Amino acid sequence: MSNVVSTATRPATSEMMRRLPEYLMIWVPLLLSAAHLISFSIWTIWISFTPSTLVPVSGWVGLRNYNSVLASRNWQIAFDNLLLFGIAFVLLSLITGLLLAILLDQRIRGENVLRTIFLYPLAVSFVVTGTVWSWLLNPGIGIEKLAHDLGWSTFHFDWLVNRDMAIWTIVIAAIWQSSGFAMALFLAGLRSVDADIIRAAQIDGAGPIRTYLRVILPTLWPITITVVVVQLQFAISAFDLVRALTNGGPGIATQLPALVVYDLMFQRSQLGRGAAAAVLMLLILLAVLLPYAAWRYVQRRQATHA
């Protein structure tokens, strides 16, 4: 194509040979990536319908694995926890992120330093975050112990070992780790508001606070949806953080779907059920992502038609 004369005189096969390295460099990685995504998904879905336990076997058991996972206490607790954790974490990190973004947007001094501080937890692994918070929240050595040592003997903060409250420790650590992400996106959104819109509002006689509430903040809602979806995606597949912070405990009080999958696959050797739990995780994720994809599609069509 690039050189019409030479391609016409040379046989097609040698042209192919000449371009082989580029075909390989393009296609091998892309095909490997695409093939692994498709085949791995199909394979895991297939295993979820087989009686596999220690090793993958063929056979068909219908929805038996799904029924047994859905009926297990482990999964039910994990699912309830996911609902609570997902909603609480996403809402609170949205609020924290938005508040921080609005504050940083007030032309304050030291903005760069503050932004660096609010975002650094994102550079740290969930294992590190979970480990550190497991120390801070441990009543025997953490904040509660410090309060006692300082003489406040009635201070009580034992969520980490309290069955009813332990899930909130994961909410706390997750917010600490990733509310900076919401802040970064909101701040970028606040900074990209059209100056003309703000001027128009001021000409209409709106004060600074009113302009902010009525004109600037409403432009953030597409960013809000993106933040919600990304954070929910993290919440649904959360594993490392829980593993390091509570390891699902006390008992199974902080169990989450990703831990159930790992437990079934690698600790109980229930491959079929583990695969079924993984597919259930995927379905939960799709319940979030498909509406988001549809919304994005509509938005894009409106943008091209406008």
Partner 1 sequence: MRDRSFAPSRILIYLVVTLFAAAYLAPLVVVVLNSLRTNEEIAQGSMIGWPQHMAWSNYLTAWSGFCIAETCAGIRPYMLNSALVTIPATIFSTLLGAVAGYAVSLWRFRGDNWIYGIVTLGLFLPQQMRLLPWTIVLRDIGLINTLSGLVLIHTIQGLSFTVLFCRNYYIAIPHELIRAARIDGAGFFRIFWRIILPLSAPILIVTVIWQFTHIWNEFLYGVTFTTGQQQPVTAALIALSAAVADIPQHGVQSAAVIIAALPTLLIYLFGGRYFVRGLTAGAVK
Enter the tokens of residue 155. 């201070």
Q: Which residue in the set 106, 267, 302, 304 belongs to the binding site for partner 1 (CB under 8 A)?
A: 106
Interface with partner 1 includes 138 (CB under 8 A)? yes
Q: Which residue in the set 61, 91, 198, 230 belongs to the binding site for partner 1 (CB under 8 A)?
A: 230
Interface with partner 1 includes 240 (CB under 8 A)? yes
Which of these ranges, 19-27, 161-169, 195-203, 211-219, lies near partner 1 under the rule CB under 8 A?
A: 19-27
Q: Give the HSE-up count for residue 298: Cα atoms under 13 Å, Cβ half-sphere.
A: 7
Q: Which residue in the set 37, 83, 197, 287 belongs to the binding site for partner 1 (CB under 8 A)?
A: 37
Which helix (H) or strand (E) is 215 found in, with range?
A: none
Interface with partner 1 includes 66 (CB under 8 A)? no
Q: Which residue in the set 58, 125, 269, 299 belongs to the binding site for partner 1 (CB under 8 A)?
A: 125
Interface with partner 1 includes 210 (CB under 8 A)? no
Interface with partner 1 includes 67 (CB under 8 A)? no
Residue list 146-185, contact with partner 1 (CB under 8 A): 146, 149, 176, 180-181, 184-185
Interface with partner 1 includes 19 (CB under 8 A)? yes
Interface with partner 1 includes 63 (CB under 8 A)? no
Q: Which of 275, 257, 279, 256 is nearest to 265 (CA)?
A: 275
Q: Which of 217, 6, 202 is nearest to 99 (CA)?
A: 217
Spatial distance between the Cα atoms of 216 and 201, rounded to a whole number of angstroms: 10
Q: Give the HSE-up count for residue 236: Cα atoms under 13 Å, Cβ half-sphere.
A: 19
Enter the tokens of residue 236. 């649904």
In terms of CB distance, is 67 or 125 closer to partner 1? 125
In terms of CB distance, is 108 or 164 closer to partner 1? 108
Contact 265, 271 (CB under 8 A): yes
Contact 168, 88 (CB under 8 A): yes
Residue list 251-280, contact with partner 1 (CB under 8 A): 258, 261-262, 265-266, 271, 274-275, 277-279
Q: Which residue in the set 57, 95, 117, 197 belongs to the binding site for partner 1 (CB under 8 A)?
A: 117
CB of 239 to partner 1, least distance (A): 6
CB of 63 to partner 1, least distance (A): 18
Interface with partner 1 includes 58 (CB under 8 A)? no
One-character DSSP codes across 178-227: HHHHHHHHHHHHHHTS-HHHHHHHHHTT--HHHHIIIIIGGGGHHHHHHH
In terms of CB distance, is 88 or 244 closer to partner 1? 244
Enter the tokens of residue 272. 């079929």
Interface with partner 1 includes 192 (CB under 8 A)? no
Spatial distance between the Cα atoms of 81 and 223, rounded to a whole number of angstroms: 26
Enter the tokens of residue 259. 């831990």
